[in-house]
Amino acid sequence: MNHKMQLIASLTSPFARKVRIVAAEKHIEYQLVVDVPWEAGTHVPEFNPLGKVPVWVLEDGKTLFDSRVIVEYLDSVSPVGHLLPREPRPRIAVKRWEALADGVTDAAALVFMERKRPAPQQSPEWITRQLGKVSAGLKAMAEELAQQDWCTGDNFNLADIALGCALGYLDFRFPEIDWRRAYPNLSELYDRLMQRPAFRETIPVV
Ligand code: GSF
């Protein structure tokens, strides 16, 4: 059986956004299947035992998750605009950036979910702990970016995409975190990223 490749995603998931941006930058065609894993009728567990989006469905029906596995696959199957260097050291430096940016997103997502629980069940200590990771992660990313045009130097790559998705998620769910004022260099990079159609077309929506 040969199907068109599919991406199962919600339109608010920052990790799914990373995959959508990578696919767009690489001109890889796929069908977007919108599925919200929190809703009762979700089919996500049929594709990913972990019940999380994004999931990429290959032509033969096999599935890939999570987002880091998917983007590495997409980068390797098309020669258009490499987003991961081939050499081990620069490659792992980009993946380290991705881990840092995804980690900020993960911590922020945990806070968002904790705040959705009934007030008496929420743990202020847990929220503070996760917000500490968001702050420390933002600081580390701003310091590592310094005055460079892109995260790892002269070229746009997956590191910038992961950073942009983290910052976009903070804007979406935590408008009170004023990372633009604290870190003008992140703000400039984000503006540069938003000039790309792949970013503009994937802004999270409710
Ligand atoms: C994280 C995916 C994830 O947390 C990745 O793909 O990079 N490490 C994974 N997905 C969330 C939605 S969102 O916050 O992007 C999800 O699907 N959660 C549903 C659940 O049951 O946890």
Q: Is the CB of 202 under 6 A from ligand 1?
A: no
Query: Residue 1: what pLDDT?
Result: 56
- The angle that helices 88-116 and 14-25 make with each other, rounded to 10 degrees, is 140
Ligand 1 centroid vs 15 CA: distance in angstroms? 7
For the chain, give every domain's residue range: 6-77, 88-197
Query: Residue 86: what pLDDT?
Result: 95
Rounded Cα distance between 11 and 201, Å, is: 11
Which architecture characterizes domain 88-197 according to CATH? Up-down Bundle (1.20)
pLDDT band at 2 (very low <50, low <70, confident <90, very high): low
Ligand 1 centroid vs 53 CA: distance in angstroms? 5
Query: At the topology level of CATH, where does 6-77 sit?
Result: Glutaredoxin (3.40.30)
Q: Percent of the chain, pLDDT > 70?
A: 99
pTM, two decimal places = 0.97
| pLDDT tens-place string over residues 135-160 | 999 999 999 999 999 999 889 999 99
